[in-house]
Amino acid sequence: MEKVIILGTGPAGLTAALYTARANLEPLVIEGMEPGGQLTTTTEVENYPGFVDGIMGPELMDVMRRQAARFGARYQHGTVERATFSPGQHRIELEGGEHVEAATVIIATGARAKYIGLESEQKLIGRGVTSCATCDGAFYRNQPIAVVGGGDSAMEEALFLTRFTSDITLIHRRDQFRASKIMADRVLQHDKITIRWNTVVEEVLGVDQQEVTGLRVRNVQTDQLDEIAIKGLFVAIGHQPNTAPFAGQLDMDDIGYIRAQNTRTNVEGVFAAGDVQDSVYRQAITAAGSGCMAALEAERYLEAQGQ
């Protein structure tokens, strides 16, 4: 039986791997279906402390991975299909039938941004289509851009983007925002944001699938089609935490985020770090920080168990 199994290889999982490896716990890290996590789908990361000139997302994850490996972290390909948690012996079943067992589990399976689901959108993700204004807003200085969504995330993204450009179109499929009134009012009153109500994106227009040039949109009430020239599309229609394999086993909120107290879940020896338990900050650095916390909590737990 393993002392520590870490599920996920984003900043939370790899930081937990680094700390538990340095504590001689020889963590086994299950890589998940997207090794490196969400950062591998972004280009340049300019807001991770320590890199004056920024660093490419995939490179940052590669460095973190190698750093943890240097101290003994072991990596295994695999996607979690199901988990059965029982204090002292947690069982993780992987796709393909294999299973692993451990005294402690650190869940760092992350979350994924929801996208609209258009083929044209998928092809341009990372090339003008993004789901993170904090990460990518600065690339669109003085450029026309659009934000899709009507919740607090969309309001927050649109307001944040006003720092960079005064040409923001906010596209929402209904005639009323879902967002809290205070956030919605800020957007409604902002002179850099134009709102297109009752509108959906039908197609993201691009050049050779390398850059975004515009959107084809449709008014859902009149069916009228229109084109909007933009350089960047920020999709802000919510996130989905990757917690399906743990449903019914751990306390979660209505959306599926794990409820954790200082990374401790409601099951002894099971910890959660990163976006899987954080719907608020969702940054690489906060994920890494909570990965460190989870590792220290796991270490203390094992020590208390005499392991």
Sign of the torsion angle spanned by Cα atoms 154, 155, 161, 167? positive
218-253 core/surface letters (b: 16 or more CB in 10 A; e: else): beeeeeeeeebebbbbbbbbbbebbbebbeebbebe
Contact region for ligand NAP (CB under 6 A) — 66-74, 81-89, 172-180, 186-194?
172-180
CB atoms within 10 A of CB 298: 31
Which residue number, 178 or 264, has a Cβ lying nearer to ligand NAP?
178
Q: What whole-number distance in Å separates Cα of residue 91 and Cα of residue 105?
A: 9
Token pair of 75 as six digits: 């990596």
Site for ligand NAP in 247-286 (CB under 6 A): 279
Q: Is 135 one of the annotated active-site residues of the chain?
A: yes
Quick check: 154 and 196 in contact, CB under 8 A? no
| 158 is an interface residue for ligand NAP by CB under 6 A | no
Q: Can residue 110 be called a binding residue for ligand NAP (CB under 6 A)? A: no
Interaction between residue 15 and ligand NAP (CB under 6 A): no
CA gap 14, 299 in Å, rounded: 16
Q: Which of residues 20-49 bind ligand NAP (CB under 6 A)?
A: none
Which residue out of 53, 62, 136, 152 is catalytically annotated? 136
Binding part of the chain for ligand NAP, among 18-26, 94-102, 149-157, 218-226 by CB under 6 A, reads: 149-157
Annotated active-site residue 292? The verdict is: no
The alpha carbons of the chain give a radius of gyration, in whole angstroms, of 21
Binding residue for ligand NAP, selected from 149, 206, 274, 291, defined by CB under 6 A: 149
Subset of residues 129 to 148 that bind ligand NAP, contact rule: CB under 6 A: 148
Note the residues at the interface with ligand NAP (CB under 6 A): 116, 148-154, 156, 173-174, 178, 237-239, 279
Catalytic residues: 132, 135-136
